[in-house]
Structure 1
């Protein structure tokens, strides 16, 4: 697949499109000429997506479907609806995800299970369902990961664990999928200004109350990340990288969405003993 065909529209399934990078990717792909099937865990939360599609003049190239990545039957139904409607599936963008602040003593193991269920196992389920159809079209499998999939970040243990698992899964799958004509790419944003981050804010007061010996470090982390997000990339800019991958002739396995993300990724990938990354993340707690 090298971008939209000229004879008809190329169907792309995007998960997690109610806001943020997912919403911007769905609209941006439609603007680029793709037929987008936009997955929504709760279709009632699709107003912002539909309004953005209307404003961009691409409502006719964007179809919404209920898709909860934690429900295998929902995943199977969304993939089937896409193929039944358009006769094929050319690409999948795994974007659905949740965040969770807190260290393991604050949030407990159940919180880890919930984050892994959406951010990792949800991608596994969508990928499993989509691969036969992507093989038929020589299609693309894309996942929106995070620098948190390369760099373990303080007080983001559950989120980073899930993103590390995601990247390990897809890095392992990529050469196997390539043998059958399917290209796999992981997209790694750094800080992005979106509702994904603002949804975490209500959990902060309770986390401070339960911080115990980590209270000072947690306050320092909150201050450091607030400064990082002052330079945050927009969701639209991050999504533009995803859309570029959809149309690239030879997409890479791993791509970052900003110079800041590229700089930190380069640090991690050259850091054989882990000391360079630890120096950076420890500084967030000082």
Structure 2
């Protein structure tokens, strides 16, 4: 790449190369749409996808002064021998037009990376309603709208969706609107993965850990500097390429990704406690919070079965064996 990156299809750093190494992931003939791709994480995603042979639609809004980062990135990709086209429609208000750019230009859509977002901080009772709503509009509703517009085309290709949620769902102060939106994206990912199985669509999400324009606003100087040094935005893109690959084996998964590391994020349910009074639950709070015996249900039905087992309802056999297999 012109900016010093190398697409090391013979083996990435930390991976085996030579005889017996995994086959290089190629996306030749594939069309990938990356939203919010003019700068930051989206830019790195688009560059990495193009380097692997994908035809990339680079979506981003121009700056208020007219600066068109999407067009600039397209020019860079083309200069480096790749194929790309720019789209400057809003994911929140013009989702159909965003997807139409891919279909009108390349005739198909194989990969959708929902990355577009905005940033703003503030305590819950100090965030204006219109600001809260706009955060939901871009991060959550924009993801829903673009994916809805893309879905028929992804069904035709058995495509891939990579959503962007956030580790902020574990808890952080002063950004309730952002966490609300990203929590919605997490739930959407789980749901769409199940809806898409019959058509071969695989839907996963990343929680990026990276220094970006958004995290550059973190008030703690030491923590911010640590991110800038160890979690550069280009370290997330290789994992996105893997999730975009035709033979990626996972769907409905959430991954924390950053710094050259990826880890599975799961929802778990512990062993639980039994009571039929408020006082009874209160007396068992330590056990209620204890993670011993935690299980990780594959879907909502499995969670109900776990609850039923905890109530002893299966001691004489499981009447739901084989029921509602999702």
Given that residues 78 and 84 in structure 2 are in contact (C-alpha distance below 8 angstroms), is that contact kept between their aligned partners in structure 1?
no
Are positions 1:254 and 2:274 aligned together?
no
- Shift, 1:160, TM fit: 0.8
Offset, 1:147: 0.9
Pick closer, same or farther for the CA change 1:223–1:275 going to 2, 3 Å: farther
Shift of 1:26: 0.6
Shift of the 169–249 alpha-carbon distance from structure 1 to 2, 3 Å rule, reads closer
Q: 2:77 aligns with which of 53, 57, 62?
A: 53
SS at match of 2:67: helix
Q: Does 1:31 align with 2:51?
A: yes
Partner Cα distance (1:274, 1:262) in 2: 27
CA apart distance, 1:32: 0.9
Aligned counterpart for 1:179 among listed residues 198, 212, 227: 198
Distance 2:249 2:202 in 1: 9
**1:101 to 2:101 alignment:** no
Paired with 1:261 and 1:104, the residues of 2 have a C-alpha distance of 32
Residue of structure 1 equivalent to 2:7: none
1:78 CA displacement: 2.4
User: Which structure 2 residue ranges, 5 or more long, are not aligned?
Assistant: 1-23, 271-287, 292-326
Query: In 2, are the aligned partners of 1:19 and 1:48 still within 8 Å (CA)?
Result: no
Assess if the C-alpha contact under 8 Å between 1:12 and 1:34 holds in 2.
Answer: yes
The equivalent of 2:207 in structure 1 is 188
Aligned to 1:161: 180
Residue 257 of structure 1: SS of its match in structure 2?
Answer: strand
Equivalence for 1:91: 111
Mapping 1:131-170, distance limit 5 Å: 131-148=151-168, 150-170=169-189
1:282 aligned residue: none
| Structure 1, gaps ≥5 residues long | 202-220, 277-286
**Contact 2:236–2:260 (8 Å) recurs in 1:** no
Larger RCO, structures 1/2 (Cα 8 Å, 6+ apart): 1
Structure of higher CA gyration radius: 2
2:186 match: secondary structure: helix
Secondary structure (helix, strand or coil) at the match of 1:92 reads strand
Matched position secondary structure for 1:162: helix
Report the Cα offset of residue 140 of structure 1: 0.6
- C-alpha distance after superposition, 1:211-252 (max 9, x if no partner): xxxxxxxxxx63574365355411111122111211153134
Root-mean-square deviation (CA, aligned residues, Å) is: 2.9
CA 275–125 in structure 1, closer or farther in 2 if over 3 Å, else same:
farther
SS at match of 2:143: helix
CA 1:161–1:225 in 2, change beyond 3 Å: closer, same or farther?
farther
Q: Does 1:64 align with 2:75?
A: no
Counterpart Cα distance in 2 of 1:260 and 1:28: 14
Q: CA deviation at 1:25?
A: 0.5
Residue deviations 1:241-272 (CA, integer Å, cap 9, x gap): 11121115313422221379867x75x84586
Bigger proportion of residues as helix: 1
What TM-score, normalized by structure 2, do the two folds share?
A: 0.67
- The alignment of Structure 1 onto Structure 2 pairs a total of residues equal to 245
Q: TM-score, normalised by structure 1?
A: 0.75
**Residue 44 of structure 1: which of 59, 67, 71 is its match?**
67
